[in-house]
Chain A
Amino acid sequence: MKTNDFVLAVEGLTVSFDGFKAVNDLSLYVDEGEIRVIIGPNGAGKTTVLDLICGRTKSTSGSIKFRDKELTKMSEHQIVHAGVGRKFQNPSIYEDLTVFENLELSYPKGRSVFGALFFRRDQAVINQVKAIAESIFLADLLDKPAGLLSHGQKQWLEIGMLLIQEPDLLMLDEPVAGMSVAERKKTAELLKRITKGRSVVVIEHDMQFAEEIADRVTVLHQGQVLSEGSMERVQNDPKVIEVYLGH
């Protein structure tokens, strides 16, 4: 199969932790500009798949192609430079730095040691940080230490840190988990805005939310793809119903 049409082509991906195959011979293809939602019960291996794509975990076998690049051989920061951005399941931000500094650090300039040493906080950086802060509802909190933000605000900040990297492939791990109803609504709106024109992989438990944004849905179960297709198709798949309802 020609992999060039896909932004992401995962083939035969397997990872085994001491013999336990958290991801087992998984194949997954994401089109350019597609929004793919991955759902599945707890422990299905969803987070592990993202870990494998972004280089946090090394695969046992299989291949991951991002456009024409083989990601399994690359280190984390190279994968980021290639254009893959990832948001973690638990908000992962720099608590000791301000919101501004968090976003500034994620700005894709001055990433080498000497680049950082001679990095200038010029107008382009400031404008970009402000624009992103505006879109993630944190424009008034730029000088606040990120450790003092609420849980929801931290999630937004991490999304902002991702956006400012301008990735071509955005991977979000349960972006609305642990949020209040109001925050959830705002986040849904934010995600709809930012996913336009990008290729996105989202892990989500919230079915309603998934249905709203997904082009296609992949159901994972025990490290394998159980079902794939439109939300409607997947929801009516007897295998999926079995996993979610009966044991």
Chain B
Amino acid sequence: MMHSLKQIFPRHDLIAFAILAAILAIVFPLTMDIFRLNLVGKYLTYAFVALGLVLCWGYGGILSLGQGIFFGLGGYCMAMFLKLEASSPENTAIQSTPGIPDFMDWNQLTELPWFWEPFHSLPFTLFAVIAVPTVFAFFIGVAMFKRRVGGVYFAIITQAIAAILTILIIGQQGFTGGVNGITDLRTFLGWDIRTDSAKYLLYFVNLVLLFICLVIAQCVRKNKLGRILVAMRVREERVRFSGYDVSNFKIFVFCLGALFSALGGAMFTLQVGFMSPTFVGIVPSIEMVILCAVGGRLSILGAIYGALLVNFAKTSFSETFPELWLFAMGALFISVVLFFPNGLASLYQEYVLPWIKARFKPRVKTKPEAKVESKAKPQPELSEATDDSANLPAGARYEN
């Protein structure tokens, strides 16, 4: 996978990554107070989901309207660990059964359910954050893709699963905290996560994880697997006759998307301090798709910018007109789909990039030796591809 760094990270991608890293790791922390920064951190947990959707939907053509399932499972796993830590016998001495989470006590449970037990252990919890959603995605994937269920049917089924999971969580109040979710989380291995310094640190942990996911996504899209996904999107049938078992590739990318979402969910719990069914169901799942569409569904970096912009808009908009936000969101989605099917990334590709190129071209010409040097390893595919990109068929552009 790491065979040629240059092939996976061509220069313009490297620059784009660096710009994003600078904005998130330097500009934001320097210019924002911790309240705002924590908000950005929260938005970025949705970016994990949007990133997974770029691979699943943008590349592989698999539209999942149920990514909240995995975000929620990851978030709940983390929340269970934190809740157990917050429910030590000393903290819960006033309960009729001390040592179990408060909501269990309220629901007349007298002992911890068996599936909560292992969440006393941090290693198990971290494993579960990753494994539970991914394995669940694997089963959904096998059940659907091996039977060649795809397209709209798949989208509807994922949505149904998201709805069922929400109902289950709300219904099993004693085990899950019900509609309120798992709240009042305090410490992580004794370290108070509600303090400002903890929030700063968690913001950066979140960033590091996000960039790890970005690098994984970049590796996937830049090697053969990514090209198989692109091929599958329009010509699934042909891919079979090139000798590939299409369902396995779909299962893989769906699991990867679930894994990303789960990490986002776990980081959400840590940064925001609670997890509830509002982040599992249909509405958040569709919101995630909108983030991805606004950013540009073929652009892994676009997913991050999309998540930030839409959520900034959401926050400022819903402060003033809370009841109008859903309509605004719908309008945004429809107009993006109608007018910018490839999202913000297409604006960047169409207007910003040519402008940058036009401005910086003369400088390159005055330094021919530098250019020769940097092209020492010829990359004919790349240079040619950019020349041709002006008249590429739909879908092949805007990938960045």
Q: Do A and B bind each other?
A: yes
Q: What is A's interface to B at a CB cutoff of 8 Å?
A: 54, 56, 75-77, 80-81, 85-86, 88, 92-98, 100-101, 104-106, 108, 110-113, 116-121, 142-145, 147-148, 161, 165
Closest partner residue, chain A, to B249 (CB atom): A113
**B335 at interface by CB-CB < 8 Å:** no
Known contacts A108-B243, A113-B249, A120-B3, A148 near B234 by CB under 8 Å: no
* Other-chain residue from B3, B234, B391 in contact with A96 (beta carbon distance below 8 A): B234
Q: Hey, which chain B residues are within 8 Å of A104, CB to CB?
A: 224, 227
Docked CA distance A244–B376 (Å) = 63
Q: What is B's interface to A at a CB cutoff of 8 Å?
A: 1, 3, 7, 220, 223-225, 227-228, 230-231, 233-235, 237-246, 248-249, 252, 380-381, 384-385, 388, 391-393, 395-396
13 inter-chain pairs at a CB distance below 8 angstroms, sorted by A residue, are A92-B235, A92-B237, A96-B231, A96-B233, A96-B392, A104-B227, A112-B245, A113-B225, A113-B248, A113-B249, A116-B228, A121-B224, A148-B388
Residue from the set A54, A116, A120 with the largest chain B CB neighbour count within 10 Å: A116
* Other-chain residue from B227, B237, B243 in contact with A111 (beta carbon distance below 8 A): B243
B240, A117: Cβ atoms closer than 8 Å: no
B242, A161: Cβ atoms closer than 8 Å: yes
Q: Hey, which chain A residues are within 8 Å of B227, CB to CB?
A: 97, 101, 104-105
Closest partner residue, chain B, to A118 (CB atom): B1
A116, B381: Cβ atoms closer than 8 Å: no
Q: Hey, which chain B residues are within 8 Å of A56, CB to CB?
A: 237, 241
- State the 7 A-B residue pairs at the shortest beta-carbon distance, nearest first: A147-B393, A143-B384, A80-B243, A76-B240, A119-B224, A96-B396, A94-B231
A86, B396: Cβ atoms closer than 8 Å: no
Closest partner residue, chain A, to B391 (CB atom): A148
B241, A80: Cβ atoms closer than 8 Å: yes
B223, A116: Cβ atoms closer than 8 Å: yes
B234, A81: Cβ atoms closer than 8 Å: no
A111, B235: Cβ atoms closer than 8 Å: no
Q: Hey, which chain B residues are within 8 Å of A88, CB to CB?
A: 238
Docked CA distance A98–B393 (Å) = 11
B231, A54: Cβ atoms closer than 8 Å: no
In the complex, given contacts A77-B241, A86-B241, what are 11 additional A-B residue pairs having Cβ atoms less than 8 angstroms apart? A92-B237, A95-B393, A95-B396, A96-B230, A96-B234, A98-B385, A106-B242, A112-B248, A116-B244, A119-B223, A143-B380
Known contacts A94-B230, A97-B230, A117-B225, A144 near B388 by CB under 8 Å: yes
Docked CA distance A148–B234 (Å) = 16
Shortest C-beta distance, B147 to chain A (Å), equals 12
Docked CA distance A23–B130 (Å) = 50
Docked CA distance A117–B391 (Å) = 29
Known contacts A145-B392, A145-B396, A75 near B245 by CB under 8 Å: yes
Q: Hey, which chain B residues are within 8 Å of A94, CB to CB?
A: 230-231, 234-235, 238
Q: Hey, which chain A residues are within 8 Å of B384, CB to CB?
A: 143-144
Q: Hey, which chain B residues are within 8 Å of A113, CB to CB?
A: 225, 248-249, 252
B248, A81: Cβ atoms closer than 8 Å: no
A77, B240: Cβ atoms closer than 8 Å: yes
Shortest C-beta distance, A163 to chain B (Å), equals 12
